[in-house]
Structure 1
Amino acid sequence: RHIGISILRVLEGFGIAAVLGLGLGVAIGLSRTLDRWTELIIQLVKPIPSIAWIPLAILWFGIGEQSKVYIIFLGAFFPIVINTIDGIRQTDHKFVELARILAVPRLKFVRQVVLPGALPAIMTGLRVGLMVAWMCVVAAELIAAGSGIGYLIMDARQLSQSDVVFVGMITIGVIGKLMDSLIKRLEKRLISWKVDFAGN
């Protein structure tokens, strides 16, 4: 029961972060104007740890599920949006110039050149975001939670049940690794042309 609830919270927070982070990251990466407007805000908010947002999360969303998902979302959002922006900006300038010479429509250029080229960075952002999302579970489930792996760990800590704490920690690690492996599989399918110098 606790495992299922934590997985659901992570999937909700990470899913929202992925949709918004990818969308905003692509928009910022393609627009210098939007980049100038958002860069300062992102750089100011990014270093704030997710746990520091707990009081505001309670004020804004109460002590229900929304506040927990919000904390997880914040943790996962910034790695995704920043890696997406970086990936878009790393588009080979030779392709950009070639597209201009051939008068390739912008939408087609973005879809067929920019996004495929940015995929390695985007997938890295998703993997890091998922890892941070699991790190945020414990913090999120501190908010008057009565269930979840984080709640189980905190409850066991108060009762000095170190074995339960270890089991909870290992469970988070195992589930996080399994979900990361799924994203790696997806990455290999999407980026079949990528050369893996590590030999994996």
Structure 2
Amino acid sequence: MSERESEALGRVYAARTTDELSAAYSAWSNVYDQETAAAGYCLPFVIGSWVARHVPADARPLLDAGCGTGLSGPYLQALGYRDIEGLDMSEDMLALAAGRSCYSSLKIGTLGQKLPWPDGHFAAFFCTGVFTEGHAPASALEELVRITRKGGHAIFTVRDVMLEKGGFTRAFEALESAGRWRPVEASAPFRAFAVAEPDVLVRAFVFEVL
């Protein structure tokens, strides 16, 4: 990863408040796609594998939680998903996502806070690269499950080092114990970047909402 890319990513990871994080992504937005592509950032594309494995193509709507510039949208659309809504905390990122013409709606919001949808609105949500250092907390899963209907799916990645440190394992167990979801699939750790950052490993998780 180039010095400029490392600085941009460093500002994102160094953010300590949602305002700082939103500002960091806004500053990065215009070159985000090019720089992450050069680094081999693969999560927005590989998440479609788990979505296609567990969610029928005619299920609707789906939520791209933390959609950023909307990199996942066109590939899910190509797989037959026609009703995808997006959520992100950065207006600049959402403006770029809108230009991809594959989202039925885009809303600004912050994972970890109240989300602007009623209970059971979505057939599934997917979320990639957001549950990592300095980003959305494990507590965000509670609200994402709330807006996903029974029988729907929660599909997301978590940075490996955050599973314990960030309280994700505890959050998984709490939702399962409460009868809110059941585990369906968990991947082995894999690289988030195919070219750069070889130490950045994530795992993908799939749960069925109950």
Greater fraction of residues in strand: 2
Q: Same fold (TM over 0.5)?
A: no
Greater fraction of residues in helix: 1
- Give TM class, smaller chain: under 0.3
Q: TM-score, normalised by structure 2?
A: 0.23
Structure number, greater radius of gyration: 1
